[in-house]
Structure formats: C-alpha cells, structure tokens
Amino acid sequence: MSVPPESVVPPPASEQAPAGDIPAEERTWAMFAHLSAFLGALLTSTFGGGWACFLGPLVIWLIKKDTMPFVADQAKEALNFNITVAIAALALIVLTIITFGLGFPIAVALGAIIGVAWLVLTIIAAVKANEGVRYRYPFALRFIK
C-alpha cells in the first residue's frame, strides 16, 4: 500500500543536505579559496599595497582543481574577482601618476569604495561557499574559464 504524497512531511531545513549535496571538506576548501585573498592582501599591504590578493585563490585552484570540482569553481571565481580588483587598483595608481598627483583625491575615494566592496563581497562569497552555494561575484572579469 502506498502513502499519498500529501501525507509525506519533508525533514526540517536544519536536517536537509546542503545545496547539491557538496561534502563538508569541499565546502571548507571553497570557503578558504575566498578567504585566502585576505591573507595575500595582508602579507603585501605594508609595502606593496595589498596587490597579492589573488595569490591565495590561485594556489588553492592549482592544488584542488583536479580533485574537487566545487573548490575549483569557487577558487576560479575568487581568482577572477581578485585579479579584477588588482587591475582596478593598478588603474587608480596610473591615474594618480599620469595626472601628476591631481587625480589622487579621486583615486583615494574610489580606492576606499573598491576596498569596502572587496571586503564585503569576499565575506559574502566565503559564507555562500561554506553553505554549498556557487557564488558569482558581480563586476568580475572572467579571465580564467
């Protein structure tokens, strides 16, 4: 005898598997792929302006791309976004140089906006990756496909 579909109660949301049933280890590595941008930026912030924000995602992508597809996807996404941010920072430096310093106030204001957006979007991406959701950064140029 079969049970009618109306009488089947789904398990509570806390007991349901995460989106796509991605293993916890992959979700953790994907989260690290996003958060590793902070480490790269921190290591080069004193003397280099934080330009190495893309190195952490690059290393994780190179190590995990063949064994963990979700990690490879999220590391690529983090890598593309951080390369885009590095290019924007370089463009602001060039703006300051070619205007002989007159563009400095504009570069500082835009740099602050980009910095806050980078911080917020990276944290959102890390949280989503830890939940097993494939996050896509807005405004990221897709260099690595």
Residue 6: per-residue pLDDT: 57
What tens digit of pLDDT does each residue of 90-107 get? 899 999 999 998 999 999
What tens digit of pLDDT does each residue of 17-62 get? 445 688 999 999 999 999 999 888 887 776 666 677 888 899 999 9
Task: Provide the angle, in degrees to the nearest 10, between the axes of the packed helices 69-98 and 104-130.
Answer: 170
* Residue-wise DSSP of 10-68: PPPGGGSPPGGG--HHHHHHHHHHHHHHHHHHHHHHHHHTTGGGGHHHHHHHHHHTTT-
- Tell me what the pLDDT averaged over the chain comes to: 85
